[in-house]
């Protein structure tokens, strides 16, 4: 890049593919990718040595990394489950669909609920005690109730996953509204805003950073409670797969299930973060200027 | 230059008292304070920390109620015994101490916000006008940026543009340039004076910086330590438009010294009062 290219009054930010390429190039110049690679190698190495290398006594019932990866990538798996068998995807798809539904409901209800609680003092006074009493009850304690209330396998599982992430989303949204500086409300009011202007121009965008922090936690919580629920009552899904393979002493499949869960969970929180960044360009750019 | 260009924006504060009552402990912030600000005047407010300057501004802006006394804007009652809290309105625009541009809107969207929500202009008309006004203020090529992407000086200038697009009667500024380095500050002063010479809007400006007070003001109201009332008013007869040569003139230095002395006296009182409270 020559100096003269930088002189135009307005420098356009690269977009689309160019931006992705640029981001990759920049990232490769930092330590991060190398440290990450090294970190993964370290963990895999330790795992390999404990289980398959030194065959330490505590680990001798576990399948080692080589065994797991071989099975995972095996078109004709020894224990019936790999990237090449349709049943594997059945479990993944069932769990992902359940997450989509529960996280969707939790967000659709929790965000508006939290916004209203933050916006209207009266509404908050009505609802806050209920929220604060129900929130600390661990999700497993809801299992019997869910089974009593809903029939079948699907609804109780979705209910449990929804409930857990609903609390997180609502509370974070509420805190998000609280976090908005009073001066913004004063300025908006002085500038002539009506109530609905304040809601849509101040409350909603002002709470967004907290909302998305909340959504990232809440998608994790949704996975957590989904798997717990699937383990207790379920016919399909990754939680079910893990317990089922444990019962059937197919430990390799169990570890495959666990790792799959790790990757899908990670992917879902990356998606939430990407959506958040898209919706909060203002924040992204300000943070970028601070070098973060 | 004659001040008769502007016949609106006269503020009259009459026997104003404000008592805060947190936890049943009365804190008298402003005590029987009266101040007349003429239409189109730049009135600077100085006084020791915590004396009640912001309290006064909040009363005018309608951010909180007053306990006793009245405030009028152009002979219209803003607040008084029958109506303790003034209604907030676009006739009195506040520029906040820490800046209150909405960080989630671009500078142009921020400026366009007032006319848009008031229903004066449609969204695209408002944005167009915002673009013109930003350009006039030398911010033409940063209108599409978010406040977090521009310098604090630019943001503050944009905030003043956001106020001015509503054609306010009064600009209320609460130490807007406090945290700025002196170079930025001088640019801010020039920009504000330029705006003033163009619009002749009444300005109520709180500051700790006495040179700033004399340089910008028609009058400087010095407040006593809490509970605040007006201790002294210094008339600044330096002709406008003012420039940086003003800063080295003898008259300017004399006025600064006069103000400094009065403020210093109050600051000592405030300090001693603080010592007594602690003892
Ligand atoms: N909401 C409040 N409740 C109780 N006391 C308050 C409140 N706001 C201000 N005060 C008190 O009133 C006094 C005057 O406050 P004010 O903010 O008006 O001072 P100030 O002159 O603007 O000070 P500074 O120069 O530090 O900005 C202070 O002693 C402050 O502690
Ligand atoms: Mg103050």
Q: Is the pLDDT of residue A233 over 80?
A: no
Nearest chain B residue to A181 by CA: give it.
Answer: B100
Residue ranges and CATH numbers for the domains of chain B are 11-91+170-278 (3.40.50.300), 98-167 (no CATH)
The answer, for B93 touching chain A at a CB cutoff of 8 Å, is yes
Q: What residues of chain A lie within 8 A of the CB of B117, using their CB?
A: 188, 191-194, 197, 201
Q: How far apart are CA A103 and CA A276, in angstroms?
A: 15
Substitution target in B61, B91, B117 with the highest count of A β-carbons within 10 Å is B117
**Tokens encoding B134:** 């930003």
* Contact state of A183 with B98 under an 8 Å Cβ cutoff: yes
The answer, for B274 touching chain A at a CB cutoff of 8 Å, is no
> Quick one: three-class SS letters along chain B?
CCHHHCCCCCEEEEEEEEEECHHHCCEEEEEEEEEEECCCCEEEEECCCCCCHHHHHHHHHCCCCCCEEEEEECCEEEEECCECCCCCCCCEEEECCCCCCCCCCCHHHHHHHHHHHCCCCCHHHHHHHHHHHHHHCCCHHHCCCCHHHCCHHHHHHHHHHHHHCCCCCEEEEECCCCCCCHHHHHHHHHHHHHHHHHHCCEEEEECCCHHHHHHHCCEEEEECCCCECEEEEEECCCCCCCCHHHHHCHHHHHHHHHHHHHHHHHHHHHHHHHHHHHC
In sequence order, the 6+-apart residues with CB closer than 8 A to the CB of A10 are: B141
Give the per-residue pLDDT at B245: 83
The answer, for B140 touching chain A at a CB cutoff of 8 Å, is no
Sequence ranges of the domains in chain A: 23-62, 65-289
**Tokens encoding B136:** 């006039």
Q: Is B29 in the pocket of ligand 1 (CB under 6 A)?
A: yes
Calculate how close chain A gets to B226, using CA atoms only, in Å.
Answer: 24
Q: Is B55 in the pocket of ligand 1 (CB under 6 A)?
A: yes
The answer, for A202 touching chain B at a CB cutoff of 8 Å, is yes
Q: Is the pLDDT of residue A5 over 50?
A: no
Nearest ligand atom owner, CA of B30: 1
Q: What is the CATH number of domain A65-289?
A: 1.10.3720.10
Q: Which of A144-153, A203-212, A269-278 has the lowest mean pLDDT?
A: A144-153
Calculate how close chain A gets to B199, using CA atoms only, in Å.
Answer: 19
The answer, for A286 touching chain B at a CB cutoff of 8 Å, is yes
Q: How far apart are CA B86 and CA A52, in angstroms?
A: 77
The answer to whether residues B100 and B126 touch, using CB atoms and an 8 Å cutoff, is no
Q: What residues of chain B lie within 8 A of the CB of A179, using their CB?
A: none
Kindly give the number of the ligand 1 atom that is closest to the alpha carbon of B208: 25
Kindly give the number of the ligand 1 atom that is closest to the alpha carbon of B47: 21
Regarding pTM above 0.95, the answer is: no
Alpha-carbon separation of residue B65 from A215, B72, B145, B217 (angstroms): 39, 14, 36, 27
Q: Which of B55, B58, B63 is the pocket-test mutation for ligand 1 (most atoms within 8 Å of CB)?
A: B55
Per-residue pLDDT tens listing for chain B (279 residues): 444 456 789 999 999 999 998 777 788 889 999 999 999 999 999 988 888 899 999 999 999 999 999 999 998 999 988 999 999 988 999 998 888 999 999 999 999 999 999 999 999 999 999 999 999 888 999 999 999 999 988 999 999 999 999 999 999 999 999 888 888 888 899 889 988 988 999 999 999 999 999 999 999 999 998 888 898 899 998 888 888 888 888 999 999 999 999 888 888 888 887 777 666
B90, B92, B102 member nearest A184 (Cβ): B102
Give the per-residue pLDDT at A53: 87
Calculate how close chain A gets to B84, using CA atoms only, in Å.
Answer: 17
Q: Which of B17, B50, B209, B273 is the pocket-test mutation for ligand 1 (most atoms within 8 Å of CB)?
A: B50
Alpha-carbon separation of residue B175 from A265, A279, B148, B152, B208 (angstroms): 49, 33, 20, 14, 7
Q: Is the pLDDT of residue A48 over 60?
A: yes
Higher per-residue confidence, B22 vs A170: A170
B63, B102, B103 member nearest A286 (Cβ): B103
Nearest chain A residue to B146 by CA: give it.
Answer: A282
Give the per-residue pLDDT at A25: 84
Mean pLDDT across the stretch A195-202?
95
Q: How far apart are CA A182 and CA A189, in angstroms?
A: 11
Percentage above 90 pLDDT, chain A = 58
Q: Is B27 in the pocket of ligand 1 (CB under 6 A)?
A: yes
Q: Is B226 in the pocket of ligand 1 (CB under 6 A)?
A: yes
B174 CA → ligand 2 middle, Å: 7
The answer to whether residues B30 and B55 touch, using CB atoms and an 8 Å cutoff, is yes
* Contact state of B104 with A187 under an 8 Å Cβ cutoff: no
Q: Is B202 in the pocket of ligand 1 (CB under 6 A)?
A: no
Confidence band of A9 (pLDDT split at 50, 70, 90): very low
* Contact state of A289 with B141 under an 8 Å Cβ cutoff: no
Confidence band of A292 (pLDDT split at 50, 70, 90): low
The answer, for A146 touching chain B at a CB cutoff of 8 Å, is no
- H helical segments located in chain A: 16-29, 32-48, 65-72, 86-119, 121-134, 143-149, 154-178, 182-190, 195-197, 204-232, 238-247, 251-279, 281-289
* Contact state of A194 with B162 under an 8 Å Cβ cutoff: no
Give the per-residue pLDDT at B161: 94
In sequence order, the 6+-apart residues with CB closer than 8 A to the CB of A159 are: A142, A146, A149, A150
Query: Is beta strand B219-223 parallel, antiparallel or unpaired with respect to B230-235?
Result: antiparallel
Q: How many CB atoms lie within 10 A of CB A6?
A: 8
ipTM: 0.89
Q: Is the pLDDT of residue A4 over 60?
A: no
The answer, for B113 touching chain A at a CB cutoff of 8 Å, is yes
């Amino acid at each position: 890049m020559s100096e003269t290219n930088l002189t135009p009054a307005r420098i356009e930010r690269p977009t689309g593919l160019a931006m992705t390429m640029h981001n990759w190039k920049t990232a490769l110049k930092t330590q991060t990718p190398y440290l990450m690679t090294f970190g993964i190698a370290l963990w895999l190495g330790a795992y390999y040595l404990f289980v398959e290398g030194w065959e330490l006594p505590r680990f001798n019932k576990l399948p080692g990394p080589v065994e797991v990866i071989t099975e995972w990538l095996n078109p004709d798996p020894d224990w019936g489950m790999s990237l090449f068998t349709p049943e594997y995807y059945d479990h993944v798809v069932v769990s992902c669909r359940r997450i989509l539904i529960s996280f969707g409901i939790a967000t659709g209800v929790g965000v508006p609920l939290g916004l209203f609680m933050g916006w209207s003092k009266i509404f908050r006074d009505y609802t806050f005690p209920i929220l604060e009493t129900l929130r600390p009850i661990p999700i497993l304690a809801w299992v019997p109730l869910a089974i009593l209330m809903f029939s079948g396998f699907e609804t109780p599982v979705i209910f449990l996953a929804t409930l857990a992430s609903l609390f997180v989303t609502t509370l974070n949204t509420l805190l998000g509204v609280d976090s908005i500086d009073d001066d913004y409300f004063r300025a908006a009011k002085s500038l002539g805003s009506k109530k609905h202007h304040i809601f849509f121009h101040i409350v909603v965008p002002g709470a967004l950073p907290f909302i998305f922090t909340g959504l990232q936690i809440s998608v994790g919580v949704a996975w957590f409670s989904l798997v717990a629920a699937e383990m207790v009552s379920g016919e399909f899904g990754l939680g079910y797969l893990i317990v089922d393979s444990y019962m059937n002493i197919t430990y390799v499949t169990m570890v495959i299930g666990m790792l799959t869960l790790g990757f899908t969970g990670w992917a879902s929180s990356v998606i939430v973060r990407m959506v958040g960044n898209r919706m909060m360009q203002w924040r992204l750019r300000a943070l970028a200027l601070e070098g973060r | 230059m004659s001040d008769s260009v502007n016949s609106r924006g006269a503020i009259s504060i009459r026997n104003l008292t404000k008592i805060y009552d947190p936890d049943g402990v009365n804190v008298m912030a402003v005590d029987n304070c009266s101040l007349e600000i003429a239409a189109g005047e730049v009135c600077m407010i100085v006084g020791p920390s915590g004396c009640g300057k912001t309290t006064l501004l909040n009363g005018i802006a309608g951010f909180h109620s007053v306990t006793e006394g009245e405030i009028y804007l152009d002979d219209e009652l803003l607040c008084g015994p029958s109506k303790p809290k003034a209604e907030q309105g676009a006739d009195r625009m506040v520029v906040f101490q820490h800046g209150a541009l909405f960080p989630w809107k671009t500078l142009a969207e921020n400026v366009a916000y007032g006319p848009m929500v008031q229903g004066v202009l449609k969204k695209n008309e408002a944005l167009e006008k915002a673009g013109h006004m930003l350009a006039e203020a030398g911010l033409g090529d940063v209108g599409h940026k978010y406040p977090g992407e521009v310098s604090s000086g630019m943001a503050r200038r944009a905030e003043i543009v956001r106020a001015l697009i509503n054609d306010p009667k009064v600009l209320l500024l609460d130490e807007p340039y406090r945290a700025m380095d002196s170079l930025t500050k001088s640019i801010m002063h020039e920009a504000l004076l330029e705006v003033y010479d163009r619009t002749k809007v009444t300005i109520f400006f709180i500051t700790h910086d006495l040179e700033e007070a004399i340089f910008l003001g028609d009058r400087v109201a010095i407040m006593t330590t809490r509970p605040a009332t007006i201790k002294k008013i210094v008339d600044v007869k330096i002709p406008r438009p003012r420039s940086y040569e003003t800063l080295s003139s003898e008259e300017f230095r004399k006025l600064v010294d006069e103000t400094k002395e009065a403020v210093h006296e109050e600051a000592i009182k405030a300090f001693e009062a603080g010592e007594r409270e602690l003892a």
